[in-house]
Structure 1
């Protein structure tokens, strides 16, 4: 599975907490991948794009008469599936150690897919107009810009044979690529805990979405940077944060799987 390059003197408690969150996230990513393939792949093959509007949660997945936009959306979803699976494989230490050639070619595929998906997403938002509002469009644009920057820096580090730096940039790229997954899991966790358990008004979901549209990209990256730099007592505090994050992520995945993904698997 994917691993985080921890400081050399990382506390065992932090390693265990990150490992727990990592396995939960992998399960959630694979469920999301299955949902993408089951719902969006068959219409892309058959051309029956209208099926995307029957149960999907994407904005303007199918627009009557917009053949170019519909095809671009389908390709964008296909690239998302490639990035999800390819990213999980790319961050596997066993794959790097046992099949380095596969790691290199899968990495090249990931880079190409990330660039095409980012540019395609920008086209869908700013040319096709597939956006909720300007705030969400800005959040998507920020996400795409970070993905492009991270994959370029990951490639540059690999060419310099700076493999430690390469792995760090690759992790940043994968977390940014996973922004759409973090968005859904976070929104579902808020709905179940914030609204369902704590009784917050349903209207609060809109405010949370406005914040989490940016947070789904920036918060995972912030936690990664803290993990890179944590020492001493900060590692212990961070381990508690990862255990809490594991619980929140599990709740969000369970809710998303039950209410959004599983019906299409």
Structure 2
């Protein structure tokens, strides 16, 4: 009797190495908190380095700024954790509770963003005001549509709208780079600052739409593969 060593099936794919489930949420939280921490450090530096500026209120934050920072911090932190599939499976109750709190934080950030857009209108260009208005409104609309979708058990639509809302919420983080590098190339003119701010939101939305469509394309292929295996 001859023994033959078992060989792997021809064309069999090696198992894919999965990335750690915490990697994406950790990266999103770090990116989202970057402008918040940078702004806090800048205000501390103003208050400490220039006492006369601090006494004039340069290091203080107005009410809409405080509300915006609070809402954005809650949304970025809890919203990023929703992207961990393993965490959602292991703690479904926590996922629902954290999701509701994240929605409240997002709405607070969106409406305080609208407040800030109108409050800073005298010091900003009409184009920058329009970008801020569109971003805040788009974020609020995305959150509401995502919430209504999950209430009707429409999970793909819920996921897509929440991804769009999160992308708009991360606009300030991307603007750290678009403004930082863009101003070196194009200067700090009124038009360039507005366009560089708009680029931050546009880049995030482009990535969000790519992620949404990539997942939508993978789901039918998985179902088709499972159906083919079942029919054998």
* Band the TM-score falls in, shorter-chain normalisation: 0.5 to 0.7
Partner of 2:195: 211
SS at match of 1:170: helix
Partner of 1:27: 27
Cα offset for 1:228? 3.6
Q: Deviations over 1:199-247 (max 9, x none)?
A: x4x527765433232221123212332444469xxx9xxxxxxxxxxxx
Determine which of 72, 76, 96 is the counterpart of 1:104. Answer: 96
Q: Decide which structure has the larger Cα Rg and report it.
A: 2
Query: CA 1:102–1:189 in 2, change beyond 3 Å: closer, same or farther?
Result: farther
Partner of 1:177: 169
Cα offset for 1:91? 1.8
Partner of 2:227: none
SS at match of 2:62: helix
Unaligned runs of 5+ in 2: 1-12, 49-54, 219-232
Partner of 2:127: 135
Contact 1:176/1:221, CA 8 A, preserved across alignment: yes
Q: State the alpha-carbon separation in 1 of the partners of residues 24 and 96 from structure 2.
A: 26
Query: CA 1:135–1:33 in 2, change beyond 3 Å: closer, same or farther?
Result: same
Aligned CA-pair RMSD: 3.9
Unaligned runs of 5+ in 1: 1-11, 42-49, 56-61, 236-265
Partner of 1:225: 209
Report the TM-score, using the length of structure 1 for normalisation.
0.59
- 1:244-255 equivalent positions in 2, closer than 5 A: none
SS at match of 1:161: coil
Report the TM-score, using the length of structure 2 for normalisation.
0.66
Contact 2:168/2:205, CA 8 A, preserved across alignment: yes
Determine which of 70, 74, 81 is the counterpart of 1:89. Answer: 81
Matched, 1:118 2:110: yes
